[in-house]
Amino acid sequence: MGEPAGTRLDVDGIMNRAAAAAEAFRRCDQEHTDRIVTAVYRAGFDQRIPLAKMAAEETGLGVWQDKVIKNVIATRFVYENIKTLKTVGVIAENEEAGIVEIAQPIGPIFAVTPITNPTSTVLFKILIALKARNPIVIRPHGAARKCSIEAARICYEAALAAGAPEHCVQWVRRSTEEETLALTRHRKTALILATGSEALVRAAYSSGNPAIGVGPGNVPVFIGKTADVPFAVDQIVMSKTFDHGTVCASEQALVVRACHAAETRRLLIERGAYFLTPEEIRRLETVAFNPATRVMRVEVIGQPAEKIARMAGIEAPAGTRLLVAELEDVGPHTPLSLEILAPVLAFYVAEDIDQAIALCRKINHNGGLGHTISMFSNNEERIRYFASTMNAGRILVNTPASQGALGGTYNALQPSLTLGCGTGGKNITTDNISARHLLNIQRIARRRVSPCIGPEMMAAYLDETVDALALERRCAEMEAGAARPGDPAGEPPKKT
């Protein structure tokens, strides 16, 4: 539920209600939790089309039919991935090691959601939060407020009908920057799930509370010597035009081996791509990129190629689906080599694999560290070599990057609308984030005495004449003669 419109945000009230919901959620068993999650999934899935249309109309970004697919991934594919996940009580037991793992909810989650994938991100974050028995507070992007809140309302009502705690889902209609920061810093906020601008993610990480954020994409895609070029071009065009390029994992630059360059150009043109002249590239740069902020201009995000061409005074042919800029360099001085969440694609030609790798690494290092890299190849040795040189959490092979990075559709990656970028992107993980990341795991550790801490070994540790090799031999001997299971030497003392 949300706060009344037109009032100053009651941050303490929101978080107090979330904390009360968290306490109530702790009393839910696995069956009850799964019943809630199933109800929320079904309600979100059933409204996938109205929510997609609402998102496209409100934001003016993308294609509603593609937003339907995003909503399907966020509900159906995510649900199928998490529905059997154990998130309550004992989730693993290792009798030999004497370790029992117990899942506990982390508590209230504050979730910031973007304009580019508004309803799908809301549906996704609510599903994974409730699966882990965590209440969630949604703070939507201001330009996607209506559709995001409607998605949250649908989920909340379905959760309540299935017996979820009151206030397990809340949303913020409007908040000042100060109020948003107060929510991130609140002592009752257990975790921040931040999807949005780099500045927003940095604010989440500096809040003093745990945070899971994401980084920018700027995804290079490499067409190697052994690639099936027509297939590769089909997949790239399908992916880059998906929802007009609003997925952060959409291809941003195409790096093609010279032997395939002419064929790739021809096939792209056949599929609706328009190759820009040098003068048109300069015009588009000023329209697509803001040199002061060094990021893409919001006016081009999620817009069709023909509209972007008109904005730049470019006479692209009718039916143009993709604007392609042939470039030689990478960096802020070449703006179209950077992340543009629109159907705009940079194009590079590489003479050999090493030049291709150098280009992909340079693109990756200019605004995409840790995120995603795509390649088309049928040479397994080359695939592994290429992957080993890249700083990316996802190396997608023969796959459309937009859909492939989200997982579950073109590969077995975990379906997710929050893609970790690891330390390269200043994130804690390279994983596709899901319910298991929203759990605290307790570990019961039963007594299992290591042979290497017995009296003889303790004396050896204190003996300066015993070096590492001698110590390793002694420890191996002790382990070889260690007590068998049930031997009193490894058991706690018994009362007599």
Active site residues: 248
Q: Which long-range contacts (CB under 8 A, 24 or more apart) does 304-312 make?
A: 304/244, 304/343, 305/241, 305/272, 305/274, 305/342, 305/343, 305/344, 308/284, 308/342, 308/343, 308/344, 309/274, 309/284, 311/287, 312/280, 312/283, 312/284, 312/286, 312/287, 312/288
Buried/exposed code over 120-155 (b: 16+ C-beta within 10 A; e: otherwise):
bbbbbbbbbbbbbbbbbbbbbbebbbbbbbbbbbbb
Q: How far apart are CA 403 and CA 415, in angstroms?
A: 10
d(CA 357, CA 197): 28
The amino acid that residue 354 corresponds to is D
**Please, where are the H alpha helices in 334-467?**
353-365, 380-388, 401-406, 455-461
Give the 3-state secondary structure of residue 291: coil
- E strand intervals along 408-485: 439-445
Phi-psi label, residue 447: left if phi above 0, alpha if psi -120 to 50, beta otherwise: beta
**What tokens appear for 437 in the block?**
């990341």
CA dihedral in degrees (278, 282, 284, 290; nearest 10)? Answer: 150
Residues in the chain: 496
Rounded Cα distance, 350 and 330, in Å: 14
d(CA 304, CA 320): 9
381 to each of 219, 224, 364, 378, 394, how far by Cα in Å?
Answer: 22, 12, 22, 9, 18
Helices 145-161 and 118-131 pack at an angle, to 10 degrees, of 30
Tell me how far apart the alpha carbons of residues 33 and 84 are, in angstroms, rounded to a whole number: 11
CB 174 within 8 A of CB 60: no
Residue 296 has which token pair? 């893409």
Is 380 exposed, middle or buried, given 0-12, 13-18 or 19+ CB atoms closer than 10 A?
exposed
**Calpha distance 241→272 (Å, rounded):** 10
Question: What's the DSSP call for residue 77?
Answer: I
Pair 113, 214: CB distance under 8 Å: no
